[in-house]
Amino acid sequence: MDASQKPHVIIIGSGASGCLIAQGLKKRGISFSIHDVVDPAKRPRNWSMSIYWAFPYFEKLLPKHLYERLQEALVRPHYHATANEKLVISNIQTGDIVKEFTYPYAIRTNRMGIRKLAVEGIDVVYDHELSGIEYTETGVIAHFADGTSEAGTTLVGADGGGSFVRRQLLGPRGEAQSFPDYEMVNMNVRYPLEHAKYIAEHVAGYVDYGVHPKGVFMMLLYCTAPDANDHSTWTFHIALTFPRGLLGKSLEGLSNSERVRLLKTLADDMTEPRRTILKHLPDDQVVPYDPIRYWVPTPWDNHDGRVTLAGDASHAISFHRGQGFNNAVTDCAHFVSAMENVATGKANLVDAINGYEKEVIERGIREVTLSKELTLSIHEWNRFLESPEIKYGGNDLRGLKQANATGEAIVSN
């Protein structure tokens, strides 16, 4: 990139990360375009995500009028977080609380809600599948499957955990890994009024973690609550992981009705509210089959700042520590700052992107490794009691010198 050349960023992926990058660039008057294979709003699946230590970055990324509407994107728009938000970890065989952490004013959003807010005012080019990346003396050219192309100074892959951009940069080393010994169910469930009201009244408001000594992890979260006064409109994000074969057979390849039937059997030796949650799963509930995936960052060739990664593309984190979205938002803010330094002449493109990637990779290695350890330990009871979740909760470990003996969460910006 010539020193006199103004940056133009090509964003691949229009999920929450891609749109937050776009908003941050737009706010600073930096030229960009954003492309996606499909409109994420048309994807039916939804899930809950925490916003805690990365919260300050939203004000830096969003324009004032959207930042002031962030409450609209929360799982319970009618509820205002307090200083006493809790992550509760329970033994779901006995009902005993193993550990509690307090997260003052922590909030939860969902995939659809935050993306709907973040895409406002952003012109996304849909049906635009990236097919190749070409590097030139002055920048980069994105080639798309429909035969079109676009030139820019930098391309950023914000295209998720299975990132095509990452695989273009690293080949087989860019492939996400999985945990072959464990199965995962990740679903969004709506119940009739009686059961929905009961569940809502008995689930920890911020994060409700449950672990069974036989190796089952079950997380309960609010997902949507469009009508504060009608619990039958609410949905709950339920995520389970367990050893492959625990149910007598793998869920992979089974019919949806058979998956529902087997999940209901898990409730037999669980305490409430999980017994109700599983026993009363709707018979037609969609039970997707998902592997638990991760990718530990490794340095890639950024071609002198012409291409980089952000969000899950730069560090696919297994979900048990709940750190994926906070880290993705941090990437977005740091990338936008790097491009702002280029646009204002404070740094050249090479130094700005190298500096950005150094922090992203170091943070990503630390978090992916720690979350991977929790994924492995959470299915072995004694090992879980010594795990990162029990020691640190969902904190950003950059700000932790030791576990807080009082159980109070620590904010690190």
Dump pLDDT digits (tens) for 287-324. Answer: 999 999 999 999 999 999 999 999 999 999 999 999 99
Q: In angstroms, rounded to a whole number, what is the distance separating the alpha carbons of residues 57 and 62?
A: 9
Q: Give, in order, the Cα–Cα distances in Å from 303 to each of 18, 84, 166, 349.
A: 21, 47, 13, 11
Let me know if 225 is exposed, middle or buried by CB neighbors in 10 A (0-12, 13-18, 19+): buried
d(C-alpha 75, C-alpha 335), whole Å: 27
Q: How confident is the model at residue 3 (pLDDT cuts 50, 70, 90)?
A: low
* pLDDT of residue 168 exceeding 90: yes
Q: Which among 49, 67, 50 is positioned nearest to 58, based on CA atoms? A: 67
For residue 401, what pLDDT is reported? 36
Q: Is the pLDDT of residue 286 over 70?
A: yes
Please report the pLDDT score of residue 405 as a whole number: 33
What is the phi-psi region of residue 194: left when phi exceeds 0, alpha when psi lies from -120 to 50, beta otherwise? alpha
Average pLDDT over residues 199-226: 96
- pLDDT given for residue 63 in this prediction: 98
Burial string for 118-145 (b: 16+ CB within 10 Å, else e) reads bbeebebeeebebeebeeeeebbbbebe
**Residue 399 burial (CB < 10 Å; 0-12/13-18/19+)?**
exposed
Q: Is the pLDDT of residue 88 over 90?
A: yes
Q: What domains appear along the chain, each with residue ranges and CATH number?
A: 6-72+107-175+292-379 (3.50.50.60)
Res. 395 pLDDT band, cuts 50 70 90? low
pLDDT confidence band for 402 (50 / 70 / 90): very low
As a whole number, mean pLDDT of residues 121-150 equals 97
50: pLDDT confidence band, cut at 50, 70 and 90?
A: very high
Kindly tell me if the per-residue pLDDT of 413 is higher than 60.
Answer: no
401: Cβ–Cβ under 8 A, 6 or more apart, which residues? none
Cβ-Cβ contacts under 8 Å for 172 (sequence gap 6 or more) = none
What pLDDT, on the 0 to 100 scale, is given for residue 242?
96
Which regions of 2-70 does DSSP assign to beta strands (E)? 8-12, 31-35, 48-51
What is the percent of the chain with per-residue pLDDT over 70, rounded to a whole number? 94
